[in-house]
Each structure stands twice: as C-alpha cells, then as structure tokens.
Structure 1
Amino acid sequence: MTNHEYLVTGMTCGHCEHAVRDEVSRIPGVTAIEVSASTGYLTVTADTLDDDAVLSAVDEAGYQATRL
C-alpha cells in the first residue's frame, strides 16, 4: 500500500471533508482516506492509483486538489 498526498483548496468544515471522502472512496483500489479541512490535506492509500481519478473526484465534490 502506498500513501498519495494532495492539497485540497476550499474545504472549511466537516461537510467538506465528507464530500471529498465520499467521492474519492468510489475510486477502485482505494483502501483508506484521510482528509482534513483544517489543514487541507488529503491522503489516499492504495496499491495503485491514478492521480487524475483523484483530482476528478475532488473536482466532482466541488473542490480543487494538487498532488504533493
């Protein structure tokens, strides 16, 4: 398993965290997600992961992400 780190802009509350977590959890192969509105960090754990899929999922939730 590998951790993939992202910075998500625009999150301000628990609802924001839930929206991002919900969309990212739909990506095949994701085994764990940690997201914090206070820091803006998103950590996705997976064996293999397509960065574009994560960026699209975060966009679908209404936010923007960049890979760290």
Structure 2
Amino acid sequence: MAQKQYNVIGMSCEHCAASIREGVSEVAGVSEVVVDVAAKSVTVHGTDLDDGRLRAAIVEAGYGIADTVAA
C-alpha cells in the first residue's frame, strides 16, 4: 500500500477537513484519508496513487498545498 502526505494551506476546522476528505476519497486507488487539522496535513493511503489527481482534489476543495512528502 502506498502513502502520500500533503501539507495543506488554509485548512482550519473540521468542516475544512470533511471537504478535503470527501474530495480526496473520490480519487481512484484511495483506501483511506487521514486529515489532521492541527498539523494542517492530509495523509492518503491506497494503491497506484496519482499525485496530480490527489493535489487537484485538494485544490478543488478550495485549499492550497505547501509541499508533498511521499512515504
């Protein structure tokens, strides 16, 4: 199983987290989305994760991405 982590700009509450979780969950291959509002991070678990689509889902939810760490 693959994992990707994103540091999100503009996420400040559980409503923000829910919006991101919903959008990212719809990307093919995603099996779990863990959002940490305090750390402003999103960790995605799954198979054959497409970085571009994951980033697009976060941006489409209305947030920016500071950087990416692939684990």
TM-score calculated relative to the size of structure 2: 0.90
Aligned residues: 68
The offset of 1:57, in angstroms, is: 0.2
Alignment deviations for residues 26-47 of structure 1 (CA, whole Å, 9 cap, x no partner)? 1011000101111011100011
The offset of 1:16, in angstroms, is: 0.3
Q: Following the alignment from structure 1 to structure 2, what is the Cα–Cα distance between the partners of residues 4 and 59?
A: 16
Q: Which position in structure 1 is the counterpart of 2:30?
A: 30
Query: What amino acid is the match of 1:67?
Result: T
- Give yes or no for the alignment of 1:64 onto 2:68: no
Give the 4+ runs in structure 1 shifted more than 3 A: none
Structure 1 vs Structure 2 CA RMSD: 0.8
Q: Does structure 2 retain, via aligned residues, the 8 Å contact 1:20–1:58?
A: yes
Can you give the 5+ residue segments of structure 1 that lack an aligned partner in the other structure? none
Q: Following the alignment from structure 1 to structure 2, what is the Cα–Cα distance between the partners of residues 64 and 51?
A: 14
Identity among equivalent positions (%) equals: 35
TM-score calculated relative to the size of structure 1: 0.94
